[in-house]
Amino acid sequence: MGKWLMKEDSMGKTMKKVKKRTVRRVRTMLQHEYPYPHEHSQHALIAVVAVALFFIFSDNLHIVLHKLDTNIKWWSIYGFLLGFFYFFSSPFLGSTIQPSYSNFSRWYVGWLLIAAVYHLPSFQSMGVDIRMNLSLFLTLFVASVLVLVLFHVAFLGLWYLGFAARLAGKRPEILTILQNSAVLSIACCAFYSHCGNQAPAQPGIFQRQRSMFEDLPKWFAGLQNMHHAKEQMCTEWLGPVGTAADYPVFSKWALYGELVCNDGCVGGPTDIISPVYSLWATFIGLYVANYVVERSTGWALTHPQPETKNGPQKTTVTAPEFLDMVPWYSGTSADLFKTAFDLLVSVTLFLGRFDMRTMQAAMTQANQYKDDGFFYDHLSKRDGLWFDFMADTGDGGNSTYSVARLLAQPFLKMGKTELPRGDLLIIGGDLAYPNPSTYSYERRLFLPFEYAMQPPVWYKPEHIAVTKPELPEGVHSLEEFRAPQCFAIPGNHDWFDGLDTFMRYICHRSWLGGWLLPQQKSYFALRLPCGWWIFGFDQALHGDIDIFQFKYFTEIVKEHVGEDDSVILVTHEPNWLLDWYWDSTTGSNVAHFVEHYLKGRCRLRIAGDLHNYMRHKLVSGSSTSVEHLIVNGSGGAFLHPTHVFGGFNKFQDGVYEKKFAYPSLKESEQIAWGNILKFRKKNWRFDVIGGVVYFILVFSMFPQCELDQVLRDDTMLGHVWEFGATMGRAFLDMLEHSYVSVTGALVLVILSIQFVPVKVSRSKRIVIGLLHFAAHLTSAIAYMILLEIGIEICVRHDLLGTSGYHSLYSFYHTKEGEHFPDPTGLRARIEYWTMGFYPACIKYLMAAFDVPEVMAVTRANICKSGMDSLPRGFVLAYYASVFLYYWVFSTPVVSLVFGSYLYACINWFHLHFDEAFSSLRIANYKSFNRFHINSDGDLHVYTLAADKSKQRSPTCHHTSGAVQVNGPL
């Protein structure tokens, strides 16, 4: 068999980046290139926090600490609330998830958090009036959106009439307008919190304003007294811009400040324009000016920058948009629903009734091996051969590209050994995930391979190969062709659509990146130099070859395979490991073929399906036992564990020992820990399913009207005991009176038991399933009661349930006239011109932040008069408002419980090896095998591994030179 060189190597050097300068037209330069629109909000938040800290520390530090101490109880509640919302938002912080969902989560969390904080006590002693600030924010936000939308409509009209540059026709996204409006409103609210809307009444204040440079010495001297610096900033730097007399044209379009009467001041109305209004108008003016200038520089928009003396410069080659690892636990992925549907159809309708392998055999002329599309001997006359094996690719773009990039290198170095690029690539199935479709094959398989090594320039991807092989001009046969070639067998995922996509892309296309595809059928026999053979089997969804395939290969063995020849058998499923794990027997046709026809000539079996690397060597057995068993499905798909297969040592009549596993068994166990804390971060789409399931479980338990005993006890142990008793009463009440929750619980308990693998006995499945269900039900009820207790505490402190369904608008309407005088009747005119839309819009927008009040008021009515006494609309509004908050609290918990279940099963019971690692979506630990048949007929096998998948940098497609691979693991 030759030497077996086992080296698992990680990338030592990355490819050198090609540095290219970029010359961009002004038109390109003026386009906004923010990765995520919510960066505006992040910057605004940083600015607001910085200003707030400045103003807070402008007071004496010991006074601040005293104020904190007097509000310690409510500060604790704030911290508890913020902790819950942070727990919910943590997967989206610093993650490259879809911007749409990231933005939705930020807005959703911000909305509910603001609504909750509004109904908690305001820290007016700390200089912050939360209710007033929130009300002011909503008013300014609506005004900003209205003004900016009107401005953009007017600007588009000018563009349409030809009075503005062509870029004016590029409409801004509505999300950008909303977030810019939010930024302006936050800044104005921060100013109002610490400076107020007061108008200084000292005479001649505007005449005495000096330049900033004149006041610098005085200002720096004032730093010794931070309170004085704060007053100076509010009254001079950001103070009022003037009076109505200074701007008579705009006097009817402004709001005015509150009058402050100091010594010598005679009370009465003030005509000084509101500082808050002035600041808001300034921001709006800056936005308008910036937008107009950006899109109205006519000459610059139509003239490129001059070329350099070295000739025209090239634009930057951007990195491809590789797809992320498949989200197997997504409740919103159409691909996964299609995968389940295709699998259901394939198994129930076509399995055992229609088989593409049978059709291929029927369409092939008998006994004409060289022209039948199954048999290839064009490599057999070479003196030696280098070839590669990989399997289970086409998942994440970066992981697939990492392996393809290594395969494409002209040579690799392992210490002093140089490994030339393989002339042949064998892919062992599962070419794209999660299902075989045009999209998954194009984006998850062909795109990474094409970036790793380009096909010929004359090749057209849309071309359908009718007669294969389609060789380059001047090459008359495969024997003359010297570039890399590729053969592939289908895996179970490739069979979900009945092999249709595999046949279109592998058997009727000519190139996979820079690898020629001579293959015409789904299985093949390759004659290699020095008496070596590769048999590629198509096991479909049966885990075995069909009778026509069996017959074909037996005839190949009888007529072409010599007594001293050696065969490498390639299958998709490693039935030696899977049969041991599931305690079953599969692949009887393959086993019969190996034992009775190959008769000891099968020297090596290699397969994929399991996304790890394991090699076992024969210790003792019969003359027909296979000498080496290799599993290497690390071609790009998510990682599978190795420790669950550590006990394997017998296959058929042979005894084997494990020679190597990658990752190691210990590493595999440690990786499984990630399910506890990383499950939700890796599977944030699971929120859709988890939150809804938990709400269904407790739907009928809302509201809990008897919480006196939980809140009455004075000891911590008593609170805990009563909390548990309340949970028990809620559960019993659900069993007696509920329909929705009981139905949801029955469905969940059945699914929990069915979810446990059949590897264990039925009784163990029931016990494990019930424990899993009990953990979810307990968590759901506990968080339901916590939410109810929070509402009850606020009601008892008169923070909720006292003002009706429009408490925020009623509060602001009262304070508006007091703090923002309107002597000219501007608000009345706006209400008249908008036909009442202006106050109605503000009212119902503020009602959206009254969600806790809706919960409390409706809850009190239900507890007092019963559910039947309320109109259906009020009941629906109650459950909708409860769901909004309960979903935030429950989604992190359901992921934590489910992730802990997967961890316990995979490490304690060795169950769920597929489910527990697909959840982690690990793109690392990738590998492939490189084989060398030398002139003496020895087969050397090298295993090359990359610990971490590299992201593709924007370099050119082809490379020259070597990638140094250093040091065995």
Residue type at position 743: T
The pLDDT of residue 568: 98
Cβ distance 260 to 198 under 8 Å? yes
- Helix count and strand count (H, E) for the chain: 33, 23
440, 514, 959 from 393: Cα distances, Å? 11, 16, 22
Q: How many CB atoms lie within 10 A of CB 355?
A: 22
Q: 319 pLDDT band (50/70/90 cuts)?
A: low
For residue range 598-642, what is the model confidence (pLDDT) as tens digits?
999 999 999 999 999 999 999 999 999 999 999 999 999 999 999
**Would you say residue 580 has pLDDT above 50?**
yes
E strand or H helix at 588: helix 588-593
Q: Which residues contact 306 (CB under 8 A, 6 or more apart)?
A: none
The widest CA-to-CA distance across the chain, in whole angstroms, is 117
Cβ distance 785 to 723 under 8 Å? yes
* Alpha-helix runs per DSSP H in 683-799: 686-698, 708-712, 716-737, 740-755, 762-796
Cβ distance 586 to 544 under 8 Å? yes
Q: Read out DSSP for 599-641?
A: TT-EEEEEE-SSSSEEEEEEEE--TTS-SEEEEE--SSSPP--
- The DSSP bridge pattern shows strands 926-933 and 511-512 to be unpaired
The pLDDT of residue 967: 30
Cβ distance 903 to 702 under 8 Å? no
The pLDDT of residue 710: 84
For residue range 754-766, what is the model confidence (pLDDT) as tens digits?
999 999 999 999 9
What rounded mean pLDDT belongs to the chain?
79
**Which single residue is written with the structure tokens 């099963």?**
905
34, 167, 207, 295 from 27: Cα distances, Å? 16, 8, 44, 9
The pLDDT of residue 16: 32
For residue range 55-82, what is the model confidence (pLDDT) as tens digits?
555 544 445 445 544 555 566 666 777 7
- The mean per-residue pLDDT over the stretch 104-114 comes to 79
**Would you say residue 163 has pLDDT above 90?**
no
Q: Which residues contact 488 (CB under 8 A, 6 or more apart)?
A: 426, 427, 428, 429, 431, 502, 506, 519, 536
For residue range 267-304, what is the model confidence (pLDDT) as tens digits?
445 567 777 778 888 888 888 888 887 776 544 444 44
Query: Rounded to the nearest 10 degrees, what angle do helices 130-161 and 837-847 cross at?
Result: 130
**Would you say residue 150 has pLDDT above 80?**
yes
DSSP 1: -
**Torsion of the alpha carbons at 378, 384, 386 and 387, rounded to the nearest 10:** 40
CA 857 to chain CA centroid, nearest Å: 38
For residue range 224-243, what is the model confidence (pLDDT) as tens digits?
455 555 566 666 656 566 66
For residue range 710-742, what is the model confidence (pLDDT) as tens digits?
887 677 888 889 999 999 999 999 999 999 999
This prediction's pTM: 0.78
User: Per the omega criterion (within 30 degrees of 0), is the bond before 469 cis?
Assistant: yes
| Distance (Å, whole) CA 597 – CA 558 | 8
Terminal Cα-to-Cα distance of the chain (whole angstroms): 24
Q: Which fold has domain 339-671?
A: Purple Acid Phosphatase; chain A, domain 2 (3.60.21)
Q: 960 pLDDT band (50/70/90 cuts)?
A: very low
Total residues belonging to the chain: 969
- The mean per-residue pLDDT over the stretch 517-540 comes to 95
| Distance (Å, whole) CA 594 – CA 569 | 9
The pLDDT of residue 752: 96
**Bigger pLDDT: 763 vs 109:** 763
Q: How many CB atoms lie within 10 A of CB 161?
A: 8
Closest CA to 611 of 439, 435, 434, 395: 395
| Distance (Å, whole) CA 193 – CA 199 | 15
The CB-based long-range contact list for 839-844 (8 Å cut-off, 24+ gap) reads 841/142, 842/138, 842/139, 842/142, 842/809, 842/812, 843/806, 843/809
Q: Which residues contact 216 (CB under 8 A, 6 or more apart)?
A: none
List the strands of the sheet with 385-390, edge to edge: 4-5, 939-946, 926-933, 385-390, 424-427, 485-488, 515-516, 511-512
| Distance (Å, whole) CA 122 – CA 576 | 67
Closest CA to 796 of 711, 733, 916: 711
The pLDDT of residue 765: 96
Q: What percent of the chain has pLDDT over 90?
A: 42
Q: Which residues contact 464 (CB under 8 A, 6 or more apart)?
A: 508, 509
**Would you say residue 767 has pLDDT above 60?**
yes
What are the extents of the domains in the chain?
Answer: 198-273, 339-671, 676-916
528: tokens are 């290699």
The pLDDT of residue 308: 45
For residue range 249-268, what is the model confidence (pLDDT) as tens digits?
566 666 666 654 444 444 44
Q: 332 pLDDT band (50/70/90 cuts)?
A: low
Which residues partner with 440 through β-bridges?
none
